Structure 1
Amino acid sequence: MGKVSDLYRQRIASGALRHDDAQAAVLPHMDRVLDQLQAAPPQKPRSAWRAFLGVGSPDPVPAVQGSYLWGGVGRGKSMLMDLMADAAGDIPTRRVHFHEFMQEIQAGLNEARKRGEQDTVRPVAEAVAAQVRLLCFDEMQITDIADAMIVGRLFQVLFDQGVTVVTTSNREPDDLYKHGLNRQLFLPFIALIRQRMEVVCLDSRTDYRQNRQGGQVWFAPADAAARAELDAVWAELTGDATPEPLVLTVQGRQVTLPAHVGRAARSSFWDLCGKPLGPADYLAVARAVDVLLIDGVPRLSASNYNEAKRFVTLIDALYEARVRLIASGADQPEQLYNEGEGSFEFERTASRLREMQDAAWGRRDPAGD
């Protein structure tokens, strides 16, 4: 096991990262979590009575106090979370997007209900705790009432089972599920966060998602040169992190973004628009990322009308969620769809694509997400 601060300095020395005072200020808090996990006693065996009865998992050691790292979009929170997962070494760790994790939990709860479990949360939480001691969540946010109603109980069991949680968020804890339905039932979870996690603000003035110096974000035509430009942007956004597919479960089906690192993802036009996806799928994509790279938007016409309609729906979702879009296309947005059914309606999409190219577009108040 290493230290997050050591990895951070190594990445700066290699040129993969630039020093940021605000990022450096939170590194001791992240190092503290790993140091305490490493120093914690090993997992205890089951008590004699529990072993005799053949029930339960090993008695857990108390959870080390975790960390709740919050700040504005693009300040480097996901990058720091990646470093922490890398530095954890042999500590059983899982690094996962919070939205993806909660989808897994809801699926587990459904299975527990089918089995007739009276307490559906406990067996699901215990199954997670059996696999990890450190859970690294990216982008904690609560927008679904189903998640809001079970998250307090879920995390209480995780903590009781000795799991340490480190998470990033665009919101301070008191603003989670703000104005949500039955929010008073959610408030104990905020108290639990403050009790079991150290709240740390990443107060950087630099938005790394927007810091492309007004750089180009639409490349046309979609040729080899455009591909090279997108490769360079992707490298700039992700550093030397290894991309992995991001699989989102939406209403029982899977939506896959072929490559993602933190809150940045990359896909071809056909991966996103050549499949029978709908508004719910694109809303899930927009919630899961801050930056989306799309390769190869073709000319649109009656011959690919269904794909064009999906592209319009996708852009609407990205636009409303203020996701930064970087893409290559057969032509400039206004020339992509010049004639045939749907061309008139596409004018609004072209206008949005043009607006989304502005260097200042997409900046948002973290409390307004």
Structure 2
Amino acid sequence: MSHDNLKVFPSVRERYDALAQAGDIEIDPAQQRLADRFDRLIHELGTTRLATKSSALGWLFSRRAPRREIIKGLYIHGEVGRGKTMLMDMFHQLVPAKRKRRAHFLDFMADVHERINAHRQALKNGETKQDDPIPPVADALAEQAWVLCFDEFTVTDIADAMILSRLFRALFQRGVVLVATSNVEPDNLYRDGLNRQLFLPFVDLLKSHVDVVNLDARTDYRLEKLNRLPVYLSPLNEDTDRLMNEAWLAATAGATVAPDSLKVKGHTVIIPQAAPHTAAARFTFADLCSKPLGAADYAAVIQHYRTIFIDAVPVLDHPRRNEAKRFIILIDMLYDHHVHLVISAAASPDELYVAKSGTEAFEFDRTASRLFEMQSEEYLATASRLEPAAAAQAAKL
């Protein structure tokens, strides 16, 4: 038993079945098959660990342990909300590796670039004679994690694309085992990207070190659950707060929630509540519209988060036209990129802006119309995480 009196399940399948039995998830045969595949990988990792023990205290997970065979990891792709991240997180929690890391792929690559830049600075300062930063960076990453789990594996940046083949060849040579989730199959990574022919060796390398699995679950379970709840709540009262909190719990699906921040053109955009694993973020109206934010800031949020909560939108008038203007821009961008919006407001959309003069009064008619449409079944059916190409485009706005 764990310290919180919850049973510790020894396998991904047992943990999955327990959640289904408790009514927290619905049983899906495709998810069950993936759970079994994760358990086989855990067994392979454990078997290799035992086979390479050098002493009673020796682990394969020790950096000095020899690698006797290549263990193929997993690359799981499929549409949004099918349970890829949930199952990978179960695997990460259960795999008995002391050196393991779970990261969003974009965060990992940001870390890699920082390490490369630090090495180049050390070379410039005469602190190292190693011209090539890839081997020492790979050494440090492999020492940190033998089992490496990535969520949202996607490649949209040419700088990432150009180093992936060399970096991962070095990591695989050091025995790193990769597990990744993605919305696209490996052959479609960096599709239509600049100089993609230079990226293709990485695709071949990747497929030789992972088993590719298509999680063809029947529906977007997270969105299905969220769609049962209201997405525009008014007026502002305790019942509205309660329903917003229920919807937030559904959107985050038990994921860790913590503040986040994004660097945008030299300044920082704060996300008060963020669940990167489910691409959900929560703000107040003041967080987004009372601060001097603009389209580039909203685009950065959209690039990382596909379900946006906005609490406590007030009734706006002419003295608050700057906030109204930002709100207009924000809703336009959320609408254009099919972001799933959950909002609490003091009034219905057509009663949120009460001034009768000024350009904001005219423009807010479109905002109200879009807020109504964003509650429709048709809009909610299309709301999903941003595809890589759209993410790249949003980042350029």
The TM-score with structure 1 as length reference comes to: 0.85
Determine if contact 2:260/2:274 at 8 Å carries over to the other structure: yes
Shift, 1:71, TM fit: 0.7
Shift, 1:285, TM fit: 2.0
Residues 113-262 of structure 1 correspond to what in structure 2 (within 5 A)?
A: 113-116=120-123, 118-212=131-225, 215-251=229-265, 253-257=267-271, 258-260=273-275, 262=277
Cα deviation, 1:39-64, whole Å, max 9, x if unaligned, reads: 3338999xxxxxxxxxxx74763663
Shift, 1:200, TM fit: 0.4
Determine if contact 1:214/1:359 at 8 Å carries over to the other structure: no
Taking the aligned partners of 1:44 and 1:247, their CA distance within structure 2 comes to: 43
For residue 260 of structure 1, what is the amino acid of its counterpart? A
Determine if contact 1:4/1:87 at 8 Å carries over to the other structure: yes
Per the alignment, do residues 149 and 261 of structure 1 end up closer, same or farther by CA in structure 2, a change over 3 Å counting?
closer
Shift, 1:68, TM fit: 0.8
For residue 322 of structure 1, what is the amino acid of its counterpart? H
* Match of residue 314 from structure 2: 298
For residue 155 of structure 1, what is the amino acid of its counterpart? F
**RMSD over aligned Cα, in angstroms?**
2.9
Taking the aligned partners of 2:238 and 2:201, their CA distance within structure 1 comes to: 54
Residues 91-106 of structure 1 correspond to what in structure 2 (within 5 A)?
A: 91-106=98-113
Cα deviation, 1:175-225, whole Å, max 9, x if unaligned, reads: 111111111111111112211111100112212243145542111123221
For residue 160 of structure 2, what is the amino acid of its counterpart? D
Cα deviation, 1:9-68, whole Å, max 9, x if unaligned, reads: 1211222212112211211222222222223338999xxxxxxxxxxx747636631111
For residue 21 of structure 1, what is the amino acid of its counterpart? P
Determine if contact 1:282/1:317 at 8 Å carries over to the other structure: yes
Taking the aligned partners of 1:360 and 1:22, their CA distance within structure 2 comes to: 27
Residue 345 (structure 2) pairs with residue 337 (structure 1): no
What is the number of residues matched between the two proteins?
358
Taking the aligned partners of 1:123 and 1:368, their CA distance within structure 2 comes to: 32
The structure whose Rg is larger is 2
Identity %: 42
Partner SS for 2:223? coil
Determine if contact 2:153/2:182 at 8 Å carries over to the other structure: yes
Taking the aligned partners of 2:176 and 2:266, their CA distance within structure 1 comes to: 28
Q: Of residues 329, 349, 357 in structure 1, which corresponds to 2:375?
A: 357
List alignment gaps of at least 5 residues for structure 1: 46-56
* Match of residue 54 from structure 1: none
Cα deviation, 1:222-243, whole Å, max 9, x if unaligned, reads: 3221111111122223344442
Taking the aligned partners of 2:134 and 2:318, their CA distance within structure 1 comes to: 50
Taking the aligned partners of 2:202 and 2:329, their CA distance within structure 1 comes to: 35
Determine if contact 2:116/2:133 at 8 Å carries over to the other structure: yes
Stretch deviating more after TM superposition (271-280 or 256-265): 271-280
Higher relative contact order (CA 8 A, sep 6+): 1
Per the alignment, do residues 199 and 249 of structure 1 end up closer, same or farther by CA in structure 2, a change over 3 Å counting?
farther
Per the alignment, do residues 148 and 300 of structure 1 end up closer, same or farther by CA in structure 2, a change over 3 Å counting?
farther
Determine if contact 1:103/1:249 at 8 Å carries over to the other structure: no
Per the alignment, do residues 333 and 70 of structure 1 end up closer, same or farther by CA in structure 2, a change over 3 Å counting?
same
Determine if contact 2:138/2:171 at 8 Å carries over to the other structure: yes
* Match of residue 394 from structure 2: none
Cα deviation, 1:262-298, whole Å, max 9, x if unaligned, reads: 2242322233444444433322321223322222222
Q: Of residues 8, 16, 32 in structure 2, which corresponds to 1:24?
A: 32
Taking the aligned partners of 1:277 and 1:100, their CA distance within structure 2 comes to: 23
Determine if contact 1:215/1:359 at 8 Å carries over to the other structure: no
Per the alignment, do residues 306 and 186 of structure 1 end up closer, same or farther by CA in structure 2, a change over 3 Å counting?
farther
* Match of residue 268 from structure 1: 283
